[in-house]
């Protein structure tokens, strides 16, 4: 008799355990499940084996080879397409040579007495014998009823509870005569339980069931997998001895393992080359595979850890499953019934909640609390908001389910019956996400004003006008596959960090408010939101200075263009609107960066992206032809604007900010702390004062609203005029630029103004350093200890040092990424230049940034 081991299944219910390996290769006490079956067959004298394969066949072939290491002969039959359980055996027929066949699953665990099964089969003259087993919950199996002599009278595949008429189920172990195999068609999918056996039963052919009392466990899900591990450790399965030296009755330790075996309490299995530091605790029912490191203070309890995993100091694994080559950092907690795939990183102090699955190659950030499974998502986030924005890849990070949870958390923090304004750009992903948000908000008892397709400025105005208490805008991100969600407070400013944390708390705990009956929110479609926005803009602009002016503008093919005709008509502007630029979402495009720590102007990587550059070039060619005051390319968000002057030449955004400040002569300006000191000098020359804010657009906007600034900006194309809206908006930016740079009417041409400034403006240099999450606190503590007593040190955002002669250095951790930035600018007076118009002191800036970057790197490396 030959045996066929069915080993083609993917084991989808066992993921993430089977994400990177076939189900028969999952380890049971550090031995692949299929190896237990091969040994069982050998013990019962079955030495000629054919293995049917489909999913990742090379994994099984490489491990078992020809079977000689186990004293058997193994051949393989690979399915190119699914053939069903019976069909796969039929495909292996060339290896069977017309003999009786024992069919057994390679991904179930059993010590079934196969010799007794064969004896039963022969004594009854059976054509097919099924091995049966009584189980507590038969819902996931095929139920079988037999007569007193074992002949099968009825069976039903995977019934509902109302169909359960027996607790005796099909184990998937069969003995088949060649005549039964002959009934299987040579092509197409064909199943034993659904087709072959019903056919034999209907024909009255000898079909028998052998009820075994031996151990059998179908490893169909993670719960069954963990139970199988414990059963083997408890000795419930005969003939299985875990690898390693048996120290005591149920304690097994592999070669070269570094562990205090006196501290081990069985049952427990420790693999080869395992290192368990003093002070670590390995509790009963734990299985640790080869090459695992468990550091001091860690706790492993009733858990299975796969090969090559590192468990950091003080980490806790409680009834958990951890895949291969994973990295559990210090004080991380992996709680009950959770499962991690291969190559998962769990950051320092993070918690993986009970029943959570984290698929392979994912990263859980330090301090994160992961309460839902990470399957398609790329990361388990320490925070939901980054830079005040929620962003990610649509249907990967930001799925509709994620968006519903986010909006439910947002709405729960608002009073029942509150009104929220929602808008979106023209992308389909944003449309889907906004609809998900709408349903979630209505479900928590919040009314929604749906502005449909509208740029963010219209949404902000609706909130600022008192139509709602908060707002949100969904739009495409820097990458076309990304979306981002902006949230606005009652003043139309970005949501404060405290409000963000409050939403995240609800999000993590999933403590959403639920509305019922009349308390469910109402969906409102306001009719004049755009018109009211235009009216507000008309009131904020000086029509006398804009009327009759000409400009050339490209709106990047996005929703801001829907408002443009009404805006320009109200302000009397002759606008040449360029069409056709529809792909500004290119990394490196000016104005698209919304990171918390933007690059210093003039640093490498600030050049326009290809598509954006083409748009600027196209606009620049038209401007002189039509006699326009200037040209502009508006970013896809409708917020940032890049300019070309009246001669058609591109004006870098850092220089353009200087032009605005020089012509406006504002009384109060807000700029982020990492920009050139030349701006402060420029504002001071006009009799104004500069207020520094933390880096990031959201922080700049909030500070500008707090202090009542005349203008604020980032030197990347985002300009904020709080008297109109407390946020960047392309239309008020264009109106202000016409008021300032329209030649005549006491204004000066843009080309004339920009000629007074060098490029780039100032000499800020930047260095980006990789800094693990766990090192950030240590680095900041070291900087504070070193410079905290310095009266000129500013510690509000990183550590900024004001040095001799106007030079300065800023050392700033990135809040959303494992990075640290060092900015520096040397004293510009050294070469006799002003307002950052010279380049002679760049070497000084480079020297400064190198000096302090070396200091920060030393703190990063220190323990």
381 vs 331, more confident: 331
Consecutive H or E run containing 503: helix 497-509
DSSP secondary structure code for residue 341 in this structure: -
81 vs 829, more confident: 81
Nearest to 107 by CA among 53, 147, 158: 53
- pLDDT at site 221: 83
Distances (CA, A) of 64 to 57, 70, 126, 647: 11, 9, 32, 74
**pLDDT band for position 459 (cuts 50, 70, 90):** very high
* Residue pair 586/666 in contact by the 8 Å Cβ criterion: no
Distance CA 408, CA 300 (A): 36
């050139």: which residue's tokens? Answer: 676
- pLDDT at site 782: 82
**pLDDT band for position 758 (cuts 50, 70, 90):** confident
Q: Could you check whether the bond before residue 395 is cis, i.e. omega within 30 degrees of 0?
A: no
Dihedral (Cα; 768, 773, 777, 779), 10-degree rounding:
-30
Mean pLDDT of 415-424: 96
> Does 745 score more than 60 pLDDT?
no
> Does 683 score more than 90 pLDDT?
yes
410 vs 244, more confident: 410
Say how far residue 729 (Cα) sits from the centre of its chain: 30
Enumerate the β-bridge partners of residue 164.
none
- pLDDT at site 588: 35
Residue 598 contacts by C-beta under 8 Å, 6 or more apart in sequence?
A: 672, 674, 695, 696, 714, 715, 716
Ramachandran region of residue 557, left (φ > 0), alpha (ψ -120 to 50) or beta? Answer: left
Distance CA 281, CA 287 (A): 13
DSSP secondary structure code for residue 744 in this structure: B
CB burial of 582-597 (b: ≥16 within 10 Å; e: otherwise) equals ebbbbeebbbbbbbbb
Structure tokens at 531: 């018109």
Task: Count the Cβ atoms, other than its own, within 10 Å of residue 467.
Answer: 18
pLDDT digits (tens, 9 = 90+) for 547-567: 999 999 999 878 888 889 999
Mean pLDDT of 668-678: 95
Nearest to 312 by CA among 323, 297, 324, 290: 297
In the 3-class helix/strand/coil scheme, how is 751-806 assigned residue by residue?
A: HHHHCCCCCCCCCCEEEEEECCHHHHHHHHHHHHHHHCCCCCEECCCCEEEECHHH
Enumerate the β-bridge partners of residue 790.
none
The SS3 call for residue 47 is coil
- In 348-425, the DSSP E strands lie at 351-352, 357-358, 363-364, 369-370, 379-380, 389-393, 419-424
Distance CA 743, CA 756 (A): 16
**Out of 270-279, 280-289, 508-517, which region has the weakest mean confidence (pLDDT)?**
508-517
Structure tokens at 336: 């009950």
Q: What is the pTM of this model?
A: 0.65
3-state helix, strand, coil in the chain (%, to 5): 30, 25, 45
Structure tokens at 680: 């402060």
Distances (CA, A) of 221 to 15, 108, 164, 227, 809: 8, 11, 21, 10, 56
Mean pLDDT of 328-341: 93
Task: Count the Cβ atoms, other than its own, within 10 Å of residue 569.
Answer: 11
Mean pLDDT of 120-146: 80
The SS3 call for residue 99 is coil
- pLDDT at site 208: 92
Consecutive H or E run containing 459: helix 456-464
Distance CA 107, CA 26 (A): 8
Residue-averaged pLDDT of the chain:
86
463 vs 509, more confident: 463
Task: Count the Cβ atoms, other than its own, within 10 Å of residue 358.
Answer: 27
- pLDDT at site 276: 92
């Amino acid at each position: 008799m030959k045996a066929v081991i069915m080993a083609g299944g993917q084991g989808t219910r066992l993921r993430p355990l089977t994400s990177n390996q076939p189900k028969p290769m999952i380890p049971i006490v550090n031995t692949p499940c299929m190896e237990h079956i091969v040994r069982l067959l050998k013990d019962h004298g079955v030495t000629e084996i054919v293995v049917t394969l489909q999913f990742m066949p090379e994994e099984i072939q490489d491990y078992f080879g020809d079977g000689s290491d186990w004293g058997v002969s193994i051949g393989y039959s690979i399915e190119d397409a699914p053939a069903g359980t019976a069909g796969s055996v039929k495909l292996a027929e060339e290896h069977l040579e017309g003999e009786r066949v024992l069919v057994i699953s390679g991904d179930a665990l059993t010590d079934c007495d196969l010799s007794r099964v064969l004896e039963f089969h022969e004594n009854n003259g059976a054509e097919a014998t099924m091995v049966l087993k009584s189980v507590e919950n038969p819902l996931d199996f095929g139920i079988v009823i037999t007569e007193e002599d074992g002949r099968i009278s009825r069976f039903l595949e995977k019934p509902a509870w109302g169909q359960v008429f027996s607790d005796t189920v099909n184990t998937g172990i069969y003995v088949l005569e060649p005549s039964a195999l002959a009934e299987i068609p040579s092509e197409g999918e064909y199943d034993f339980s659904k087709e072959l056996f019903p056919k034999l039963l209907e024909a009255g052919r000898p079909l028998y069931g052998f009820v075994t009392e031996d151990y059998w466990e179908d490893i169909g899900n993670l719960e069954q997998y963990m139970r199988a591990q414990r059963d083997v450790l408890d000795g419930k399965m005969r003939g299985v001895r875990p690898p390693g030296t048996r120290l005591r009755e149920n304690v097994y330790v592999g070669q070269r393992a570094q562990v205090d075996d006196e501290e081990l309490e069985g049952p427990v299995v420790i693999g080869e080359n395992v290192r368990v530091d003093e002070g670590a605790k390995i509790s009963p029912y734990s299985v640790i595979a080869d090459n695992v490191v468990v550091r001091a203070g860690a706790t492993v309890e009733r858990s299975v850890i796969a090969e090559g995993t590192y468990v950091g100091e003080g980490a806790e694994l409680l009834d958990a499953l951890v895949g291969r080559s994973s990295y559990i950092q210090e004080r991380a907690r992996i709680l009950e019934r959770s499962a991690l795939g291969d190559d998962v990183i769990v950051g320092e102090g993070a918690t993986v909640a009970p029943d959570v699955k984290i698929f392979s190659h994912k990263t859980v950030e330090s301090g994160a609390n992961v309460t839902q499974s990470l399957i398609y998502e790329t990361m388990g986030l320490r925070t939901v908001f980054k830079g005040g924005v929620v962003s990610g890849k649509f249907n990967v990070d930001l799925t509709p389910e994620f968006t519903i949870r986010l909006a439910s958390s947002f709405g729960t923090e608002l009073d029942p019956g509150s009104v929220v304004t929602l808008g979106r750009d023209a992308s389909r992903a944003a449309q889907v996400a906004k609809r998900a948000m709408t349903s979630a908000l209505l479900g928590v008892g919040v009314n929604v004003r749906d502005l449909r397709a509208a740029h963010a400025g219209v949404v902000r105005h609706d909130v600022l006008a008192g139509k709602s208490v908060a707002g949100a805008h969904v739009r495409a991100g820097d990458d076309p596959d990304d979306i981002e969600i902006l949230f606005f407070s009652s003043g139309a400013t970005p949501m404060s960090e405290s409000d963000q944390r409050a939403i995240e708390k609800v999000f993590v705990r999933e403590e959403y408010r639920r509305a019922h009956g009349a308390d469910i929110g109402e969906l409102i479609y306001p009719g004049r939101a755009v018109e009211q926005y235009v009216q507000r803009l008309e009131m904020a602009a000086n029509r006398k200075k804009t009327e009759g002016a000409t400009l050339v503008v490209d709106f990047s093919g996005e929703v801001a263009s829907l408002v443009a005709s009404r805006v320009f008509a109200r302000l009397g502007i002759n606008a040449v609107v360029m069409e056709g630029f529809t792909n500004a979402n290119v990394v490196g495009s000016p104005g698209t960066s919304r990171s918390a720590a933007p690059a210093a102007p003039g640093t490498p990587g600030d050049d326009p992206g290809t598509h954006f550059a083409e748009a600027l070039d196209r606009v620049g060619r038209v401007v002189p032809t039509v006699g326009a005051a200037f040209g502009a390319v508006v970013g896809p968000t409708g917020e940032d604007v890049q300019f070309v002057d009246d001669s058609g030449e591109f004006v870098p955004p850092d220089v353009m900010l200087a032009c605005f400040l020089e012509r406006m002569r504002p009384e109060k300006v807000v700029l982020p702390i990492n920009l050139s000191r030349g701006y402060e000098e420029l504002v001071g020359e006009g009799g104004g004062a500069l207020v520094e804010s933390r880096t990031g657009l959201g922080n700049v906007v909030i500070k500008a609203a707090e202090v009542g600034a005349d203008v604020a900006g980032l030197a990347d194309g985002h300009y904020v005029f709080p008297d109109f809206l407390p946020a960047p908006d392309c239309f008020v930016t264009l109106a202000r630029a016409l008021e300032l740079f329209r030649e005549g009417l006491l204004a000066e041409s843009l080309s004339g103004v920009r000629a007074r400034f060098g490029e780039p403006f100032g000499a800020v240099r930047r260095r980006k350093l990789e800094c693990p999450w766990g090192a950030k606190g240590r680095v900041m503590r070291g900087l504070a200890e070193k410079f905290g007593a310095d009266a000129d040190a500013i510690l509000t955002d990183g550590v900024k040092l004001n040095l001799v002669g106007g030079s300065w250095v800023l050392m700033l951790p990135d809040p959303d990424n494992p990075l640290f930035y060092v900015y520096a600018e040397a004293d510009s007076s050294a070469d006799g230049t002003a307002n950052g118009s010279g380049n002679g002191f760049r070497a000084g800036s480079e020297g400064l940034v190198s000096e302090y970057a070396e200091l920060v790197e030393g703190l990063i490396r220190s323990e």
